[in-house]
Structure 1
Amino acid sequence: MSAYERVKQWNTFARIWHIYDAKWQNPFDSAKVISKHIQGLHKPIYHPLNNCGDHVIVFNSRHIALPGYEWKKRAYFHHTGYPGGASWTLAWQLHEINPTLVMQKAVKWELPRGLSKFGLMARLHIFPDEEIPEELLKNVTSQLRQLRPVPRTLDSYSDKEIEEFPKVMDYPNDYILK
């Protein structure tokens, strides 16, 4: 076996650490990609009984973007186990309590049902902002692409870019804005 083939084999069986930026991303679409990597579905040696998944670090979960009126209409169920302990919490309220819970619940929903879900969820590391512990960043070897581009703010454009942007019309010099 050549050294190249040996390295390919090591990479196939090794647990890889991926990092994913959730800023302005839909957590339900992102959860599909993240769950594939947690389960190991992207590896050629995948089998449902094989424990070959990778770790995924998700950061900026505080800045996720739900489509449409999902913040106001999506509700999460919780039961304390006591009589009358059932409650429904809207997505925006849950996000205010803990900014990682909406992403965590979206990924948990995508994983297969059963006892293996707890072991798979242990490979998911979610952080609300860009502060990630150095011990975890040392392990990262791959980056997952964002599903949709993050829009730029108006402050990020330079004066030259604003001047070169095509205009529909030029206002006359004597035009007064009200």
Structure 2
Amino acid sequence: MKTYSAKASEIQKKWFIVDAEGKTLGRLATQIAYILRGKHKPTFTPHMDMGDNVVVINAGKVKLSANKELTKLYHRHTGFFGGLKTQTAAEIRATQPERLLELAVKGMLPHNRLGDECYRHLKVYAGTEHPHASQKPEALPERTIKN
């Protein structure tokens, strides 16, 4: 039996929409990363960008478990000496609420060019409005997202 490897011309991309209100951050991020990578498709090929596009709305209302709002720290570096900047999840949620979900999903994708390409198919919005209505996104089936 030969191993099947999908060709770029055979890949079908769909659009999904996810409402993040009341969902736990990590559990939602794993499901989104799974869809972005294309692992839900029977023709999954590891070296190809098989994933679908995902639009996330209400990202500002995603929930964090326990007291991670105040204890979870996010680090970034400016590139200069002594340039390590640290923020809590609450500080990031106050200024850029969609950034929490973006960082969680990005960390779950491969750390290479393929992961960067998959990450480009993620669109996150803090509110309910999004400019992707013309793509007719389908609601992601509830069986793939667990609370």
Bucket of the pairwise TM-score, normalised by the shorter protein: 0.7 to 0.9
Using the alignment, how far apart are the partners of 1:63 and 1:103 within structure 2? 10
**Is the radius of gyration larger for structure 1 or structure 2?**
1
Q: Counterparts of 1:1-178 in structure 2 under 5 Å?
A: 13-133=11-131, 136-144=132-140, 145=142, 146-148=145-147
Using the alignment, how far apart are the partners of 1:130 and 1:38 within structure 2? 21
Give the unaligned 5+ runs of structure 2: 1-9
Runs of 4+ in 1 over 4 A off after TM superposition: none
Give the unaligned 5+ runs of structure 1: 1-11, 149-178
TM-superposed CA distance for 1:22, in Å, is 0.1
Identity %: 25
Contact 2:49 2:118 in 1 (8 A): no
User: Partner of 1:95: helix, strand, or coil?
Assistant: helix
RMSD (Å), alpha carbons: 1.3
Counterpart AA for 1:39: R
Using the alignment, how far apart are the partners of 1:80 and 1:89 within structure 2? 13
Counterpart AA for 1:80: T
User: Partner of 1:100: helix, strand, or coil?
Assistant: helix
Using the alignment, how far apart are the partners of 1:120 and 1:106 within structure 2? 14
TM-superposed CA distance for 1:141, in Å, is 4.0
Using the alignment, how far apart are the partners of 1:23 and 1:35 within structure 2? 18
Using the alignment, how far apart are the partners of 2:94 and 2:30 within structure 1? 24
User: Partner of 1:51: helix, strand, or coil?
Assistant: coil
Give the alignment's TM-score, normalised by structure 1: 0.72
Give the alignment's TM-score, normalised by structure 2: 0.87
TM-superposed CA distance for 1:29, in Å, is 0.5
Q: How many residues align?
A: 135
User: Partner of 1:50: helix, strand, or coil?
Assistant: coil
Counterpart AA for 2:146: L
TM-superposed CA distance for 1:115, in Å, is 2.0
My pick for the range that moved more, 106-115 or 138-147, is 138-147
Higher relative contact order (CA 8 A, sep 6+): 2
TM-superposed CA distance for 1:142, in Å, is 2.2
Using the alignment, how far apart are the partners of 1:62 and 1:94 within structure 2? 10
Equivalence for 1:164: none
TM-superposed CA distance for 1:56, in Å, is 0.1
Using the alignment, how far apart are the partners of 2:14 and 2:98 within structure 1? 22
